[in-house]
């Protein structure tokens, strides 16, 4: 169980408001955050990549803006988030900075992670931060949210981040040990379930809605997160993060619930590209490109002979060989117009042709599935 965490290459850690922020005065629990940063530094020293999805902006900001307790109007929540997010980001920067680890703030909406256009940009920012050795610190971009900001939205956001970055493990640090067979706040005999292999109706029924006054989305949003994460080949674990060094505690056998994925992130992502997305265009390629793709390489503009259909950057397209037959599917890094302009050209001509320095590949091999 613990080795599952140790084996992970890329880990997303979601931190709930109640762990990070004092409910009465809105102060950030610095000592706890420092201890978490120690755990993160240890994971990175062991070669693991770590991304953080954090809540707490509203909880911090509302006290600093003098907003009353109780429920806030949407614009008040947004103002609170705007004010709290600065402090939150700063706290992470300081905590990670103690280990000389850089932090990069990334504010996303659930929509960015669902719509593939902005998705590609968000993903390359996250990957670039990781490559440069920084820890992405993600929160929802609450100021542009149009719907009511709900507690628990970040559970789903974290699962989407895990999905898009092909993380192996998502850790939800919460104020509850894991999934119980009934609500432990209402039933003293409730039993913790250590491992969930499939999200059956029976498991879903154990979820239940958040109780009034809960500062989290309860189990319901966590089960939604589990569905997204495991569907993307990412194992998810819920554990109580209250103790200092919550990751070390998890490693050392703290109570928790693991939700197991049946595929690895790579396979699941390829399944998603091959099966779920509807291609809206076609790239015709020459025999040389066809051979390169069969050998596992990316699709470069030079090998493309024609571009058909209408598509945006990040949309799924069909790749067809010289005889017109489908050979692969993938996410195209350019829209149909730009793809048409650079088709047949060397990658180092892209900047001159388009006026900006885009990707070298039309379809990166990670975004490509042979048919
Ligand atoms: N984005 C919100 C905040 O930072 C939290 C949403 C959540 O807890 O799910 O305050």
- State the residue for tokens 């490109």: 289
Name the residue at shortest CA distance from atom 8 of ligand 1: 151
CA 70 → CA 10, 73, 283, distances in Å?
37, 10, 55
Q: Which atom number of ligand 1 is nearest to the Cα of residue 16?
A: 8
User: Which atom of ligand 1 is nearest the CA belonging to 81?
Assistant: 10
Does some domain include residue 66?
A: yes
pLDDT at 113 over 90: no
- pLDDT tens for each residue of 246-264: 999 999 999 999 999 988 8
Do 194 and 84 share a structural domain? yes
Whether the CB-CB separation of 113 and 157 falls below 8 Å is answered with yes
- What integer is the mean pLDDT of 146-152? 63
Average of per-residue pLDDT across 33-56: 97
Q: Is 17 in the pocket of ligand 1 (CB under 6 A)?
A: yes
Predicted confidence band of residue 152 (pLDDT cuts 50, 70, 90)? low
Answer whether 125's CB lies under 8 Å from 164's CB: no
> HSE-up of 274 (CA within 13 Å, CB side)?
14
User: Is residue 112 over pLDDT 80?
Assistant: no
Answer yes or no: do 288 and 209 share one domain.
Answer: no
Tell whether 90 is covered by a domain: yes
Q: Give the pLDDT of residue 300.
A: 97
User: What's the pLDDT at 145?
Assistant: 73
Contact 55 CB / ligand 1 (< 6 Å): yes
- According to the model, what pLDDT value does residue 45 have? 96
The per-residue pLDDT for range 349-367, each reduced to its tens digit, is 999 999 998 889 999 998 8
Residue 271 lies in a domain: no
Q: Are residues 216 and 312 both part of a single domain?
A: no
Radius of gyration of the chain (CA): 22
Token pair for 107: 């504010």
Distance from residue 179's CA to the centre of ligand 1 (Å): 21
Residue 275 has pLDDT above 80, yes or no: no
Q: Residue with the nearest Cα to atom 5 of ligand 1?
A: 55
pLDDT score for 121: 77
Domain ranges, residue 22: 3-265
State the closest ligand 1 atom to the C-alpha of 215, by its place in the atom list counted from 1: 8
- The per-residue pLDDT of the chain, averaged, comes to 90
At residue 127, the pLDDT reads 94
Q: Using CA atoms, how far apart are residues 256 and 233, in angstroms rounded to an integer?
A: 19
**What's the CATH code of the domain at 319?**
2.30.130.10
- In the 8-state DSSP scheme, what is residue 367? G
**Residue 291 pLDDT greater than 90, yes or no:** yes
Q: Flag the least confident range among 10-19, 89-98, 183-192.
A: 183-192
Task: Among 140-144, 243-247, 249-253, name the one with the lowest average pLDDT.
Answer: 140-144
Per-residue pLDDT, 185: 79
Q: Residue 173 Cα, ligand 1 centroid: separation in angstroms? A: 13
Structure tokens at 180: 């119980």
pLDDT digits (tens, 9 = 90+) for 64-106: 999 988 888 889 999 999 999 999 999 999 999 999 999 999 9
Write down the pLDDT at residue 147. Answer: 67
Tell me the percentage of the chain whose pLDDT exceeds 70: 93
Compare 68 and 41 and report the one with higher pLDDT: 41
Q: Is 218 close to ligand 1, i.e. is its CB under 6 Å away?
A: no
Give the C-alpha separation, 229 to 166, whole Å: 9
Residues 202 and 320 in one domain: no
pLDDT tens digits, one per residue of 52-61: 999 999 999 9
Instruction: Tell me the whole-structure pTM to 2 decimals.
Output: 0.86
Helix, coil or strand: residue 106 = strand
| Domain-ending residue, one of 220, 239, 265 | 265
- Residue of 86, 130, 107, 101 whose CA lies nearest to 40: 101
Same domain, 232 and 363: no
Domain total of the chain: 2
Q: What is the reported pLDDT for 110?
A: 72
In-domain check, residue 93? yes
Residue 369: HSE in the Cβ half-sphere, 13 Å Cα cutoff: 18
Look at the block and give the residue holding tokens 């971009």. Answer: 141
- Say if residues 156 and 221 touch (Cβ distance below 8 Å): yes
Q: Does residue 54 share a domain with residue 91?
A: yes
Instruction: Please indicate whether residue 154, judged by its CB atom, sits closer than 6 Å to ligand 1.
Output: yes
Q: Which two tokens stand for residue 193?
A: 């379930």
Residue ranges in the chain assigned as alpha helix (H): 2-7, 17-20, 30-45, 57-64, 74-97, 110-114, 116-131, 153-164, 201-207, 218-231, 246-251, 265-271, 287-294, 336-342, 350-354
Of the pLDDT bands very low, low, confident and very high (cuts 50, 70, 90), residue 272 is: confident
Collect all residues with Cβ–Cβ distance below 8 Å to 300 and sequence separation of at least 6.
Answer: 289, 292, 347, 360, 361, 362
361 and 222 housed in the same domain:
no
- pLDDT band with cut points at 50, 70 and 90 for residue 149: low
d(CA 340, CA 305): 9
Q: How far apart are CA 254 and CA 108, in angstroms?
A: 31
Where does the pLDDT of residue 217 fall: very low under 50, low under 70, confident under 90, or very high at 90 and above? low
Please state the rounded mean pLDDT for residues 16-44: 94
pLDDT at 19: 94
What's the count of helices (H) and strands (E) in the chain, helices before strands? Answer: 15, 13
Residue 270 lies in a domain: no
């Amino acid at each position: 169980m613990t080795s599952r965490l140790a084996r992970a290459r890329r880990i997303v850690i979601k931190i709930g408001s109640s762990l990070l922020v004092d409910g009465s005065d809105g102060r950030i629990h610095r000592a706890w955050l420092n201890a978490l940063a120690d755990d993160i530094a240890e994971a990175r020293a062991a070669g693991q990549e770590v991304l953080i999805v954090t809540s707490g902006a509203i909880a911090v900001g509302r006290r600093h803006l003098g907003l009353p307790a109780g429920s806030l109007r949407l614009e008040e929540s947004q103002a609170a988030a705007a004010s709290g997010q600065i402090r939150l980001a700063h706290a992470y920067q300081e905590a990670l900075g103690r280990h000389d680890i850089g932090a990069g703030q990334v504010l996303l909406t659930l929509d960015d992670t669902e719509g593939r256009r902005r998705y590609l940009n968000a993903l390359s920012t996250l990957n670039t931060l990781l490559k440069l050795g920084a820890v992405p610190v993600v929160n929802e971009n609450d100021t542009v949210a149009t719907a009511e900001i709900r507690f628990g939205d970040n559970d789903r956001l974290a699962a989407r981040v895990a999905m898009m970055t092909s993380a192996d493990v998502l850790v939800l640090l919460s104020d509850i040990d894991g999934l119980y067979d009934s609500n432990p706040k209402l039933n003293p005999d409730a039993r913790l379930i250590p491992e969930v292999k499939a999200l059956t109706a029976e498991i879903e029924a154990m979820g239940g809605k958040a109780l009034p006054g809960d500062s989290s989305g309860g189990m319901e949003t966590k089960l939604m997160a589990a569905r997204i994460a495991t569907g993307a080949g990412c194992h998810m674990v819920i554990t109580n993060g209250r103790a200092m060094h919550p990751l070390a505690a998890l490693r050392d056998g703290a109570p928790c619930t693991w939700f197991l994925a049946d595929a690895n992130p790579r396979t699941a992502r390829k399944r998603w590209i091959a099966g779920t997305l509807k291609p809206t265009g076609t790239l015709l390629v020459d025999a040389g490109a066809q051979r390169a793709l069969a050998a596992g390489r990316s699709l470069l503009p030079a090998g493309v002979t024609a571009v058909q259909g209408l598509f945006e950057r990040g949309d799924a397209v069909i790749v067809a060989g010289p005889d017109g037959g489908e050979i692969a599917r993938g996410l195209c890094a350019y829209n149909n117009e730009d793809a048409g302009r650079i088709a047949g050209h060397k990658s180092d001509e892209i900047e001159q042709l388009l006026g900006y320095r885009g990707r070298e590949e039309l379809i990166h091999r990670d975004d490509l599935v042979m048919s």
